[in-house]
């Protein structure tokens, strides 16, 4: 057994010559920024510096401490700018950006049944999904999202597009009890999931998953089959859960129970289960979700726009349930800006509880970063700026009129910043956007393809 003293002595021996004489060479140093680490001590280093080597963070410290130990082949000066973990969008349907603006001012069930499901049935192909996902990826990179949990169709295409753009993602094959553009039967959806798990097994950026749409659109037998598949393939599950009061009514009709009880009766939960929304839950259901290690993807903007209700975020957090933030699809938001979602999560909680301390700026930023990482089971790799974690981070301009003056960086990020203030986005140590210029995608090509796809949608929805 190596004692702690021995380890310290050994480390000192190895590091002493480096720190005393020769700084180690790393690939990137981000210097002199206001570093919001979101680590366990909620450290904010002002100024701070981050050393990155390859895909990993090797040091987060003061600029002088980092300079004494490391020199870099590339340096970014972040003076006056905020450096923070990339935002984690725990629930979205990326390609739905192509339906952005369709069917406003409706409730969820009307919006789905009258607008979205029919439009999807007539338009979705692998290529349509690729074009939509690329548009979404562009928006996400430009607004500081470095990870997204996606549930949609043609998820192999989504995974490949995200990997090519350099964005981390969980891609969930939709399972729903009607024929879809990528699966005519339940068995076909399961086969697609198996293929997805195989294609992305061990992938650094992409996590395959399975995504049953909801309790009211998937039968009990098929929910069981989903659960079995997730366990066999060792992949996470994503599901819409207790999103609307109408869902509770349908669940009672179809399953004679509330959605959480339906799933628990089926022993549905996987080691990692992401439940989107979780609006209509009572205290005993919150306790049960905690005991089953279910994470909540809270989507305040979508819930407000569709008038679905308000997730009891404060109760979840008090019960120790992991809560992350999501945008949901852009068609019910209507954008993928996680800064806005973060702000609305804080405002909504303050409004509905009558307590201005509910979801503080610090809590909101935690939910959008490390909280989201816990929800998707990636807390050891992403979600905070700490040595040993993957280098997923963003640099945010704080010099614009709307950002001035700057007293409290955390409050400023949550209450005054939006996605357009992000200047640089880095995932896995790779710079995806530098000074607002996206490096991994051609913006003109993506926008032109998206405008082309809109013609298909217009034709599909024409009366």
- Enumerate binding residues for Zn ion (CB under 5 A): 328
Can you tell me the distance from the alpha carbon of 422 to that of 420, in angstroms, rounded to the nearest whole number? 5
Residue placing its CB nearer to Zn ion in the complex, 50 or 239: 239
Look up residue 396 and give its two tokens: 């945010």
Q: Measured at the alpha carbon of residue 166, what is the angle toward residues 413 and 298, in degrees to the nearest 5?
A: 45
First to last CA, the chain: 75
CB of 298 to Zn ion, least distance (A): 12
Helix (H) or strand (E) holding 426: strand 422-427
CB of 239 to Zn ion, least distance (A): 10
Where are the extended beta strands (E) located within 299-379?
A: 323-325
Q: Contact, 169 vs 207, CB < 8 A?
A: yes
Residue placing its CB nearer to Zn ion in the complex, 50 or 96: 96
Residue placing its CB nearer to Zn ion in the complex, 61 or 328: 328
Residue placing its CB nearer to Zn ion in the complex, 149 or 417: 149
Residue with tokens 């950006």: 97
What number of H helices and E strands is found in the chain?
Answer: 18, 17
CB of 167 to Zn ion, least distance (A): 19
Can you tell me the distance from the alpha carbon of 189 to that of 98, in angstroms, rounded to the nearest whole number? 23
CB of 148 to Zn ion, least distance (A): 12
Can you tell me the distance from the alpha carbon of 235 to that of 273, in angstroms, rounded to the nearest whole number? 9
CB of 141 to Zn ion, least distance (A): 21
CB of 368 to Zn ion, least distance (A): 17
Residue placing its CB nearer to Zn ion in the complex, 285 or 328: 328
Point out the residue whose Cβ comes nearest to Zn ion.
328
Residue placing its CB nearer to Zn ion in the complex, 30 or 306: 306
Residue placing its CB nearer to Zn ion in the complex, 328 or 366: 328
Residue placing its CB nearer to Zn ion in the complex, 193 or 327: 327
Nearest alpha-carbon partner for 152 in 127, 128, 171, 178 = 171
Q: Contact, 262 vs 251, CB < 8 A?
A: yes
Can you tell me the distance from the alpha carbon of 206 to that of 378, in angstroms, rounded to the nearest whole number? 12
CB of 92 to Zn ion, least distance (A): 7
Residue placing its CB nearer to Zn ion in the complex, 150 or 421: 150
CB of 264 to Zn ion, least distance (A): 21
Q: Contact, 347 vs 390, CB < 8 A?
A: no
Following DSSP, what letter does each residue of 37-92 receive, concatenated?
Answer: ---TT--EEEEEEEEEETTEEEEEE-HHHHHHHEEEEEEEE-TTSEEEEPEEEEEE
Helices 443-461 & 126-142 angle (0-180, nearest 10): 130
């Amino acid at each position: 057994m190596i004692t702690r003293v021995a380890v310290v002595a050994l480390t000192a021996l190895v590091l002493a010559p480096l720190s005393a004489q020769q700084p180690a060479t790393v690939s990137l140093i981000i210097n002199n920024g206001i570093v919001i680490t979101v680590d366990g001590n909620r450290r904010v280093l002002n100024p701070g510096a981050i050393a990155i080597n390859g895909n990993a963070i090797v040091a987060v410290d003061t600029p002088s401490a980092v300079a004494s130990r490391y020199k870099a082949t590339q340096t970014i000066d972040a003076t006056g700018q905020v450096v923070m973990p990339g935002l984690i969008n725990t629930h979205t349907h990326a390609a739905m950006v192509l339906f952005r603006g369709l069917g406003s001012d409706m409730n969820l069930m009307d919006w789905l049944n009258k607008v979205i499901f029919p439009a999807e049935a007539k338009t979705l192909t692998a290529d349509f999904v690729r074009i939509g996902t690329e548009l979404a990826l562009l928006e996400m990179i430009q607004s500081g999202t470095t990870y997204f949990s996606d549930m949609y169709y043609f998820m192999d295409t989504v995974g490949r597009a995200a990997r090519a753009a350099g964005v981390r993602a969980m891609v969930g094959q939709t399972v729903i009890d009607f024929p879809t553009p990528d699966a005519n039967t339940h068995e076909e959806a399961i086969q697609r999931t198996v293929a997805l798990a195989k294609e992305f097994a061990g992938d650094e950026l992409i996590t395959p998953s399975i995504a049953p749409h909801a309790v009211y659109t998937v039968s009990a037998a098929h929910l069981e089959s989903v659960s079995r598949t997730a366990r066999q393939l060792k992949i996470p599950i994503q599901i819409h859960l207790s999103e609307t009061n109408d869902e509770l009514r349908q669940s009672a009709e179809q399953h004679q129970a509330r959605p959480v009880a339906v799933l628990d009766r089926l022993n549905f939960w996987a080691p990692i289960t992401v439940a989107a929304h979780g609006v209509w839950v009572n205290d005993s259901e919150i306790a049960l979700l905690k005991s089953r290690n279910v994470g909540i993807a809270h989507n305040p903007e979508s819930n407000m726009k569709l008038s679905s209700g308000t997730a009891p975020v404060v109760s979840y957090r008090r019960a120790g349930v992991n809560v992350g933030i999501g945008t949901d699809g852009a068609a019910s938001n209507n954008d993928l800006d996680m800064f806005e979602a973060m702000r609305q999560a804080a405002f909504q909680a303050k409004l509905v509880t009558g307590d201005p301390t509910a979801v503080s700026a610090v809590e909101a930023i935690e939910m959008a970063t490390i909280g989201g990482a816990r929800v998707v089971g990636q807390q050891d790799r992403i979600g905070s700026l700490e040595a040993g974690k993957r280098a997923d981070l963003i640099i945010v301009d704080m010099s614009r009129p709307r950002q001035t003056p700057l007293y409290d960086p955390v409050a400023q990020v949550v209450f005054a910043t939006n996605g357009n203030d992000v200047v640089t986005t880095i995932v896995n140590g790779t710079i995806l956007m530098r000074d607002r210029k996206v490096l991994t995608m051609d913006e003109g090509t993506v926008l032109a393809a998206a405008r082309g796809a809109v013609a298909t949608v217009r034709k599909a929805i024409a009366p």
